[in-house]
């Protein structure tokens, strides 16, 4: 009988109220546990950790960075002696460094998932002013990449970016995914609006993302132009972040308070009904590695308009969407024109829905899980483990 491979997996967070896309990893790991034995380290949790099917789960109880790194290192050594031959760190720099060290000393392979064009973010004026933070973040990320045997990222375009800016030698591509069932099966648009207290019969444009400057700074200017053409349009903002206060202030300065409904953070588990309620989803981000929210909109049969952002956005969209439903990342006038063109053309909206459903069918959890299992098997076979 062939022994199942054991994978040591660093999971950044487990939280039932999670508003981020780490929410997706719990069902993903449960699916993976049917094929491999999993030794999972949870860096943060809001309570007891429940990962059905996972063989072993460990929680880090330290928040002080050196102790967190030491705890991760101890866990990785123990996982290696329990037979783990592949280490996989999802965004965790501590996990990537500790697992990379252990894999290189005791054998095995260390893989690090990261998907974000940080090189573009660090070149923004407000980030260049934060010299120490920028140096620290780049140094730690560089260490994480250097200690890992391979980087796993979301698109070919992103892989080329890491090779160019960080000189990463080995990259593997694994796209993000969404739950086609969770987002595709839901209430009608009218029922969703009624449940959420949104007004019927008017255009609802949804922003569902973390509110940072580079993601939301053009949203008020876009709204001002859309409202000029469609005075009844309402912009619903679901998300929080370090720029939420400035966004509210900018909305007030432009006299757009009546056009906005700012809801703040919404748990990821409640995301489907918000997408179902919208006439149009907006991703105004100027820098985006993948944009899983695009998949969520497509799976919800909601047309979208996306900025042609730095990163892998154009790898996610179809050619038709890229041509008819994107705008320059710093061009609110073009963004508003595209929004109005879609709102005013029912045939175009319907075509975008059809194309979106076809496109998102390629990004189901099963497809990505098969890709992940293939990467784990291939990378695990590249080096003979020294233990186990």
CA pseudo-torsion sign 283, 168, 155, 180: negative
CA pseudo-torsion sign 330, 336, 337, 341: positive
Return d(Cα 322, Cα 356) in angstroms, integer: 11
- Conformational region of residue 291, where left means phi above 0, alpha means psi within -120 to 50, and beta covers everything else: left
Q: Do 212 and 241 form a contact (C-beta atoms < 8 A)?
A: yes
Whole-number percent of the chain with pLDDT over 70: 97
| Residue 16 burial (CB count, 10 A) | 13
User: Taking 90 as the threshold, does the pLDDT of residue 47 lie above it?
Assistant: no
Return d(Cα 347, Cα 345) in angstroms, integer: 5
Helix (H, G, I), strand (E, B) or coil at 130: coil
pLDDT band, residue 148 (cuts 50/70/90): very high
Mean pLDDT, residues 149-156? 96
Mean pLDDT, residues 49-60? 92
Token couple for 175? 């796209």
User: Taking 50 as the threshold, does the pLDDT of residue 79 lie above it?
Assistant: yes
Return d(Cα 23, Cα 17) in angstroms, integer: 9
Closest by Cα among 145, 144, 98, 110 to 375? 110
Return d(Cα 20, Cα 240) in angstroms, integer: 11
Give the residues across from 150 on adjacent strands. 111
Helix (H, G, I), strand (E, B) or coil at 39: strand
Greater confidence (135 vs 140) lies with 140
Residue labelled with tokens 């000029």? 228
Q: Tell me, what's the pLDDT at 383? A: 65
Q: Is 135 exposed, middle or buried (0-12, 13-18, 19+ CB in 10 A)?
A: exposed
| Sheet with 260-264, side-by-side order of all strands | 260-264, 234-238, 204-208, 280-283, 304-307, 326-327
Q: Which of 151-155, 219-223, 260-264, 380-384 has the lowest mean pLDDT?
A: 380-384
Distance of CA 113 to the CA centre of its chain: 11
Task: Specify the pTM.
Answer: 0.94
Max Cα distance, the chain (Å): 70
User: Taking 60 as the threshold, does the pLDDT of residue 1 lie above it?
Assistant: no
Q: Tell me, what's the pLDDT at 129? A: 64
Helices and strands in the chain: count of H runs, count of E runs? 19, 15
Return d(Cα 249, Cα 71) in angstroms, integer: 42
pLDDT in tens, 280-333: 999 999 989 999 999 999 999 999 999 998 788 999 999 999 999 999 999 999
Q: Tell me, what's the pLDDT at 126? A: 67
């Amino acid at each position: 009988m062939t022994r199942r491979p054991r994978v040591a997996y660093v999971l950044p967070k487990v939280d039932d109220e999670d508003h981020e896309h780490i929410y997706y990893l719990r069902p993903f790991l449960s699916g993976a546990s049917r094929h491999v034995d999993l030794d999972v380290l949870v860096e943060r949790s809001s309570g007891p950790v429940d990962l059905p099917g996972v063989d072993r789960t460990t929680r880090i109880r330290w928040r002080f960075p050196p102790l967190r790194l030491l705890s991760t290192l101890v866990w990785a050594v123990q996982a290696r002696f329990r037979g783990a031959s592949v280490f996989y760190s999802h965004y965790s720099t501590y996990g990537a460094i500790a697992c990379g060290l252990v894999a290189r000393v005791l054998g095995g392979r260390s893989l690090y998932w990261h998907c974000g064009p940080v090189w573009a973010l660090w070149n923004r004026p407000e980030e260049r002013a934060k010299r120490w933070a920028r140096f620290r973040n780049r140094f730690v990320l560089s260490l994480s990449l250097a200690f890992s045997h391979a980087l796993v990222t979301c698109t070919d375009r992103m892989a080329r970016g890491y090779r160019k800016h960080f000189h990463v030698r080995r990259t593997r591509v694994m796209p993000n995914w969404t739950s086609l069932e969770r987002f595709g099966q839901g209430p009608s648009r009218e029922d969703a609006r009624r449940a959420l207290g949104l007004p019927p019969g008017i255009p609802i444009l949804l922003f569902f993302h973390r509110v940072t400057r580079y993601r939301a700074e053009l949203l008020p200017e876009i709204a001002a132009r859309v409202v000029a053409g469609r005075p009844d349009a309402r912009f619903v903002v679901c998300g929080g972040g370090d720029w939420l206060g400035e966004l509210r202030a900018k909305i007030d300065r432009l006299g757009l308070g009546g056009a906005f409904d700012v809801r703040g953070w919404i748990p990821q588990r409640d995301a489907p009904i918000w997408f179902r309620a919208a006439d149009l989803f907006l991703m105004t981000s100027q820098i985006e590695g993948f944009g899983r929210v695009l998949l969520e909109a497509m799976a919800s049969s909601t047309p979208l308009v996306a900025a042609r952002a730095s990163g892998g956005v154009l790898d996610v969209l179809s050619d038709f969407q890229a041509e008819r439903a994107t705008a320059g990342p710093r061009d609110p006038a073009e963004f508003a024109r595209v929004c109005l063109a879609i709102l005013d053309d029912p045939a175009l909206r319907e075509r975008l829905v059809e194309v979106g459903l076809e496109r998102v069918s390629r990004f189901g959890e099963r497809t990505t899980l098969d890709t992940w299992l293939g990467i784990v098997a291939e990378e695990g076979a590249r080096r003979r483990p020294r233990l186990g």
